[in-house]
A = this chain, B = another copy of it.
Amino acid sequence: MSDGQFTISDLAGEFALTPRAIRHYEELGLLHPGRRGTVRLFSEGDRKRLRLVLRGKRLGFSLEQIKEMLDLHYARPGEIAAPEALLGRIEDHRAALLRLREDVGMALSWLEILEERCRGHLKKSA
């Protein structure tokens, strides 16, 4: 597409997923692309939403959770329902994310060690 508009396979190509997956995200309400007739047309905004979806996936959230977050993210400032309840959940998420960051650190240093062992093994067999 010429304009700042994308077809479904444009985005599928860019983000390394299938058109089916993108349609699936739309079915669940994660994306709301425009239409030219029957054909989906994705805007730059849709693309950014998709980026957020994939980030959420990498962080281990379900598509349903991701939908909640997107709805929050794009809600007008006054439109947050039950903010006090949300504050608690925010704390839980923060705790999980901090632990996840530790997990990433451990995994990275584990990779270091494993890589050393690999190289050591290669030197010996050379």
Interface residues of A (CB under 8 A from B): 55, 58-60, 72-73, 77-78, 80, 83-84, 86-87, 90, 93-94, 97-101, 103-108, 110-111, 114-115, 117-122
Contacts and interface: CB of A to CB of B under 8 A. Distances in A.
26 contacts: A55-B103, A55-B106, A58-B60, A58-B99, A58-B103, A59-B100, A72-B114, A73-B110, A77-B117, A83-B117, A83-B118, A83-B119, A83-B121, A84-B118, A86-B114, A87-B115, A87-B118, A90-B114, A94-B111, A97-B104, A97-B108, A100-B100, A100-B104, A101-B104, A101-B105, A104-B104
Contacts of A121: 77-78, 80, 83
Nearest to A82: B118
A84 to B, nearest CB: 7
Majority secondary structure of chain A interface residues (helix, strand, loop or mixed): helix
